[in-house]
Every structure is written in C-alpha cells, then in structure tokens.
A and B are shown apart, each in its own frame.
Chain A
Amino acid sequence: MLLGDWIYQIIFYAFVALSIGSAVIVAFSRNIVYSAFALLLTFFGVAGIYVFLSSEFLAIAQVIIYVGGILVLVLFAVMLTHKIRDVKLSNPSTSPYIAGPLVLIIFIGLIWLIMTTPWQIKGALEIGGISDIGNALMGKYLLAFEVSAVLLLGALLGATYLARKNSL
C-alpha cells in the first residue's frame, strides 16, 4: 500500500471516529450543553466524510445549515432554559433491556439493506457539482423546491404571528 493511500485512510478514519465518537457523547452525555456541543463535532465529521465522497457542496451546506443555523439555535434555546446546570434528565435511560435488542435488530437490518442494495455508482460529478444541483432544483425538482419554500414561508408567518404583541 502506498504511503499516500495510508494518509487518505488515516484522515478518513479520523473523520469517522470524530463523528461516531461525538455522536456517542451526544447520546450518552448527562449534560445537555455537552450534547449540543458534541453535535458540532458530529456535523463537522459528517461534513468531512462528504468531502471524501467528493460532494463538497453537500459538505459546505451541512456546515452552513447545521453548524451555523440549527446548532446555534439549539444552543440559544438551551441557554435560555432556566437553571440549565440542574437539569439532569437530559438522557434518562429507561428499560435498556428492551431498547438494546431492538436497536441491534434495526442496526443489523440497516447493514443488511446497505449490503444487498444494488447501488448505482455514477462517476464523480463536475467538481463541486453546484451547477448540476442548481439545474436539478430549478428543473426536475421544481415542485418540491417550491413546496418547501411555501412551507418555510408558512413557518415564517407563524413565527411572526406568535411574536405579535396583541394577536388578532
């Protein structure tokens, strides 16, 4: 094996370890703020794996939306919570003996699905692939695009309505 391949492997597995390890922290941490910050590393690790799949756009979009938007909002909400340090019920584990086997079955099922599905392996898109994505969004998937836009607009209007001082 070439040295270069080794370096690729090391970086790839570093990202994998980062995302899985931090995901474990998200799930098992007793402190809700730690969970939120570990989520940052998870998103970052997943973005790194996207880069290895040569879909840079997805990686960057992941960072913009999840780190820049959603994570900050989550932290915002967490910090507005009163006496955050006293909340010990972030991840209460109830009846792990039922959940464990259930999760294991789902995990095996997913692995089986991944292994047996005949994946369509396309050649790598044009670097970044942003124009392809743009054309697809504005052409083939225009309806879905517009529907999600309407959904967002509805959410926006709802938020404005809730924030009104004297509602109608």
Chain B
Amino acid sequence: MLKEYIDAIKSFVDTTIPFLVIDAPVELWYIVWIFIFGGVVLGGAMLFAGLASFAERRVAGFVQSRLGPNRVGPEGLFQFVADGIKLVMKEDLIPSAADKLLFRAAPYVLFIGTLGIFAALPFSKSVSITNLNLGLLYIFAISSFVAVGIIMAGWASGNKWSLLGAMRSASQLISYEIPIAICFLTIVMIAGTMNMHQIIGQQTGSIFSWFIFRYPPFTVITFIVYFIAALAETNRTPFDLPEAESELVGGYHTEYSGMRFAFFFMGEYANMFAVCAIATILFLGGWLSPLPFFILNALFGDYQLLTIIEGFGWFIAKILFLVFVMMWLRWTLPRYRVDQLMAVCWKVLLPISLATMLIIGIWSGMGEWTSRYRGYGL
C-alpha cells in the first residue's frame, strides 16, 4: 500500500512540477515529499500555536473587560513573536533532582503525539499528508503518546507538583479516552468507514447532511459529549487539573523553562487545533461548504483548485470557531475537583454516549433493514 501512495505522489509531482522531473526513484520522492509536507505542517502548527496563544490572551482580556496585549504590531498580532524570542533566549534549566534523559525527552514525546495527528487530517478536498484507511483509529492511537509524554515530564522533573500533575493527567486522559472512543465509534457506524476523506464524503450535500444533523438530536448529543471529552483531553479549563496553577504551580511543566517549556505550550495549542479539527471532520462536514455551493466555484467557474482553496478556508474557519468556543469556555468556567472530574466522565458522559450509540445504531440499522426487506411485505 506504501507503493500506491508513492506512485500517486510521483505522478502528482511529475504532472505538477514538470521542470523538476529527475529520474529519481519514487521512494526518494516520497521521502522528500514527507519532509516538505512535514515542515509545512510543523510550521503551520507552530504559527497556529503562537497566534492561538495571542488570541487566547485577547479573548481573556475582552471577557474580563480588558483589552489584552495590543502593543506589538497591529493590535498586538506579533505578540507571539516577542514571546517566542523571549523563550528562546531563556536559560534551559534542568533541576539537579531531575532525571536528565527523560526530562530532555519528554517534550518531544508529547509533541510526537500532537503532530502525529496532523498526518491524517484531511485539510481540504483530497489534500492530506497520508490518506490512511484507518485514519480515525490512527489518530486515536497516536494521541496516546501525549499521556506518556506528560507522565514522563512529571516523573522526570523530580518535583512533587509535577508528579501530582502528571498523575492527574494520566487518570484524566485514560478516563476521557473512553467517551471519545465511543463517539468515534458512533460516527464510524454512521459513515461505515474510518477513512477521514470518506467520512467527509459521506456528508456531502446540504448543511443538513452533516453528521451533527443526521439523527437529530442524538448526534448533537454525541457532538457535545465529544467536545467535553476533548476539552479534558487537551487539559483545558474546566478540566485543567494537571496544570492547575493555583494548586500545583504549573503541573507537569513546573520545572521546564525556555524552549522546552515552549514545546509543551505549543503542544497544548496544537492539540487544541487537532481535536477541533477532528470535531469538524466528524460532525461539521470538514472542508465542505455550509452553503449549497462553493463561492469561488460559483464566481470563477468549476475548477478543482478553487474548490481545494475554499475547502481549506472553510475547514480552518470551522476549526477557529470551535477553538474560540474552547477559549470562551475557559474564561467562563471554574475548575472541577478531581472527584467531580471522574464523576462527569464515568457517570454522565460514558452512559450518555453509550446510549446515543445504541440508539443511533438501532435507528440506522432499522433504515437499512426496512429498505432491504420492504419488498417482502414488511
């Protein structure tokens, strides 16, 4: 199957960049392609993380009747550049009680889990790094590295607050993975596939064929459950116990400084982007336009490239809206207690998601059953 990707990429490169055609083996093309796309995604994720941190501070300010940072650049847009430079210039401290090797490795493990998700996201019509057939499952698998990275950071710091944060995070991530898995399963049941492109393809049509409107109101409930669980997965308020600054100083990244801290920081925001992207793909139609047509196509004619560009725009717009809702929630709600956190997961989200899965399964199965046996007097 690797061969198929490689052939596709080779033909893509041959047709789009004819002046670059060198008689290189396709695998080399594949590796070059991976590096280019990986670089683009890494850069994009970092840019998003920077802008999101800036946006978060502005949103926080606005909610609290303040203005927020607005000094660097137009309306403070380059604040993240200044912050980034500050973090790069800082000393990279490693506490003497820390486990040096694991302390150094932890940010990268966490970042693998976050960036790995981006590899399977369909950014626009037929644009993704790899078109995995098991895309959804892969995303679920690779994001488990985040938990390991957090535990590694917490333990290696040699600090009780870090360890407490890591323990909280581990229990939280393990618990909330279950409602998320059930929500994924519900969508897979409706779509009948785990391929991200095909999941979006199932939602083409009008806005009402998006999965969130498919079996009203049960998919809406599934969406809400997924969104709450995603908040917990990304350690966002009201589930930010792992880094509760009023109790645990900084949680698992208490001891980190400089660039390593920046990695945790960017990982958190990139993770936010990733879970919102998944919510967009599964429930809100991914790159599909909410209008019955694509604006650019209606204006300039039926070109594939225009669809791709506009699809990317819609995808990002939907994600940004969900990210905004996450920030909005963060500055609205206080933090849960640990027992409340677990109660919400096991006593509310899990039964509700199971029930909706069952109902949607019966509903969709009934439709199939009646259509299949209609001719037999049923």
Contacts and interface: CB of A to CB of B under 8 A. Distances in A.
Given A4-B26, A73-B174, A79-B167, A63 B155 contact: no
Given A60-B138, A72-B148, A75-B151, A7 B171 contact: no
Nearest to B149: A40
A150 to B, nearest CB: 18
Contacts of A34: 102
Interface residues of A, number: 29
A68 B141 contact: yes
Given A68-B144, A72-B144, A72-B147, A79 B163 contact: yes
Q: Which of A40, A60, A80 has the most CB of B within 10 A?
A: A60
B144 A33 contact: no
Contacts of B163: 79
B133 A37 contact: no
Contact of A71 (B28, B102, B148, B166): B148
A93 to B, nearest CB: 23
Given A37-B102, A67-B145, A128-B133, A72 B1 contact: no
A63 B151 CA distance: 17
B137 interface: yes
B305 interface: no
A22 B99 CA distance: 18
Interface in B117-146: 132-134, 137-138, 140-145
B244 interface: no
B137 A127 contact: no
Contact of A8 (B27, B99, B143, B174): B27
A84 to B, nearest CB: 8
Q: Which of A3, A37, A71 has the most CB of B within 10 A?
A: A37
A33 B133 CA distance: 35
A119 interface: no
B277 to A, nearest CB: 19
A69 B173 CA distance: 10
Given A72-B148, A75-B151, A7 B134 contact: no
A73 B177 CA distance: 13
A3 B25 CA distance: 7
